């Protein structure tokens, strides 16, 4: 998959109301969900040394994370993804998996060599990756298809135990990882972000260097 750049900002609702009105006038809502709104849950994996977490906290130049992602708590589309990040440049490889393959990944059971996810799972197994935390949030997404630009707003970011049930709507043990008065705005683009997007998303908010994974790993779990 082609490399992309991602910038993240932590903003308040006052700024959001201004920025999102500008974005709505320029970009189209994501066709997924209702008016570009949908929920996401990702189960992240890490090795016994928490290397994926440490890479980010130690300021390493390259970070690699594995996750299983679902949308709206549905079993219709389940993805296994490896996300590699170098600064703001990201590269993602993914495979659609079945619920049975999800069970095998979580439990450490064998995966067929014919499976689309065999290579990713083999890499995870070689590093003894196991479920570490689930991350759930609500997203509002907008697209500018001619340049492949996405602007997203994420709210209600929660940390959950890394149980299969959390991928399919179980939020009983959710713990806020970001204040409910804050929104994570992300700007994603391939090579450059044009000036009209820069102006529309201009913010006084803090640029985030930390990932949702790290935020949720550091949330006190119950």
- Asked whether residue 137 is assigned to any structural domain, the reply reads yes
- Asked whether residue 117 is assigned to any structural domain, the reply reads yes
Please provide the average confidence, as pLDDT, over all residues in the chain. Answer: 92
Q: Which of 48, 64, 67 is CA-nearest to residue 56?
A: 64
- Asked whether residue 222 is assigned to any structural domain, the reply reads no
Mean pLDDT of all residues in 4-10: 93
Per-residue model confidence (pLDDT) at position 222? 40
Per-residue model confidence (pLDDT) at position 112? 95
Say whether pLDDT at 19 is over 50: yes
163 band by pLDDT with thresholds 50, 70 and 90: very high
- Asked whether residue 23 is assigned to any structural domain, the reply reads yes
pLDDT for 80-139, tens place per residue? Answer: 999 998 888 899 999 999 999 999 999 999 999 999 999 999 999 999 999 999 999 999
Its domain, for residue 41, covers 4-217
Contacts by 96-103, CB closer than 8 A, 24 or more apart = 97/68, 99/75, 102/68, 102/78, 102/164, 102/167, 103/164
Q: How many domains does the chain have?
A: 1
Beta strands in the chain (DSSP E): 4-12, 28-29, 37-46, 62-71, 78-86, 89-97, 130-144, 149-160, 175-176, 182-189, 206-207
Mean pLDDT of all residues in 158-171: 96
Per-residue model confidence (pLDDT) at position 38? 96
Per-residue model confidence (pLDDT) at position 85? 87
3-state DSSP: the chain helix, strand, coil percent, rounded to 5? 25, 40, 35
Per-residue model confidence (pLDDT) at position 32? 84
* % of the chain exceeding 70 in pLDDT: 95
Out of 46-60, 150-164, 201-215, the most confident range is 150-164
- Asked whether residue 45 is assigned to any structural domain, the reply reads yes
Say whether pLDDT at 59 is over 70: no
58 band by pLDDT with thresholds 50, 70 and 90: low
Q: Which of 81-90, 158-167, 182-191, 192-201 has the lowest mean pLDDT?
A: 81-90
Mean pLDDT of all residues in 10-14: 95
210 band by pLDDT with thresholds 50, 70 and 90: confident
Say whether pLDDT at 55 is over 60: yes
Cut 0.95: pTM above it: no
At 42, which CATH number? 3.20.100.30
- Asked whether residue 87 is assigned to any structural domain, the reply reads yes
């Amino acid at each position: 998959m082609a490399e992309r750049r991602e910038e993240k900002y932590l903003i308040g609702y006052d700024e959001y109301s201004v920025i999102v009105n500008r974005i709505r006038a320029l970009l189209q809502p994501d066709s997924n969900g209702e008016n570009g709104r949908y929920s996401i849950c990702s189960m992240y994996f890490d090795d016994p040394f928490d290397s994926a977490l440490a890479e980010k906290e130690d300021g390493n130049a390259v970070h690699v994370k594995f996750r299983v992602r679902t949308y709206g708590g549905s079993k219709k589309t389940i993805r296994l993804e490896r996300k590699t990040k170098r600064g703001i440049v990201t590269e993602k490889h993914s495979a659609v998996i079945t619920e049975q393959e999800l069970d095998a990944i979580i439990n450490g059971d064998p995966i067929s060599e014919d499976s689309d996810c065999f290579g990713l799972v083999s890499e995870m197994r070689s590093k003894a990756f196991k479920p570490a935390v689930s991350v759930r949030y609500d997203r509002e997404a907008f697209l500018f298809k001619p340049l492949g630009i996405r602007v997203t707003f994420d709210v209600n970011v929660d940390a959950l135990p890394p149980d299969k049930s959390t991928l399919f709507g179980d939020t009983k043990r959710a713990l806020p990882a970001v204040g409910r008065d804050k929104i994570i705005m992300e700007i994603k683009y391939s090579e450059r972000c044009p000036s009209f997007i820069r102006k529309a998303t201009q913010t006084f908010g803090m640029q985030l260097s930390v990932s949702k994974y790290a935020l949720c790993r550091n949330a006190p779990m119950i």
